[in-house]
Structure 1
Amino acid sequence: MTSELVKVRKLQRLGDYRLKLWFSDGQAGEWDFSELARRGTPLTRAFEDPAYFDRVFLEYGALTWPNGYDWSPEALYRDMAGAGALKAESVAA
């Protein structure tokens, strides 16, 4: 784990609610976000459409969508690290 704040530096859409993410500390990995489509809350209902999920962009190092939903890069990093989904990889990869 890192003690500094991490940000997502780059993302790649892989389809089926999956993204590959590169973090500011040099770690990278793939993550499945399909749970967003199953939450069923007013803010997450848009994610039932995979095309809407693919509208993700980076804002201040956080995954963000047009409806204002964002995902904390620190929490995402913690979850991915805990699951063993991160490895050292340069952004240029």
Structure 2
Amino acid sequence: MIKIVHARWIKDQQIALAFSDGSEGVYDFASLLALKTPLTQPLQDIAAFQKFFLELGALCWPHGLEFSADKLHADLLASSLLHQAAEAA
């Protein structure tokens, strides 16, 4: 089971994600947040968007929205946006 081990805000609605299998990628949440559902509406505010945290390997926000690592990993892989992390020199 893949887990998110590190998440870092990049800009706008983009978050850099590092996964437990050593892969990483930048996920752009703009299209998901454009749906403006009750769970995504609060994240239109960039300050609210930046309040994400990791819980049990998933990406979460305080108001209850969460994304599983498996879903985010699969989306990045399908979009060719996932790559192996560079090894530390």
Q: TM-score, normalised by structure 2?
A: 0.91
The answer to whether structure 1 residue 64 and structure 2 residue 60 are counterparts is: yes
Q: Percent identity?
A: 36
* Structure 1 position 39, deviation (Å): 1.4
Q: How does 1:11-22 map to 2 (within 5 A)?
A: 11-22=7-18
1:81 is matched with 77
Give 2:12's aligned amino acid: D
Where in structure 2 are there 5+ consecutive unaligned residues?
none
Structural mapping, 1:36-55, within 5 Å: 36-55=32-51
Preserved contact between residue 37 and residue 44 of structure 1 (Cα < 8 Å): yes
Q: Tell me the secondary structure at the aligned position of residue 21 of structure 2.
A: coil
Q: Segments of 4+ in structure 1 off by > 3 A? A: none
The gaps in structure 1 that reach 5 residues or longer are none
* Count, aligned residues: 88
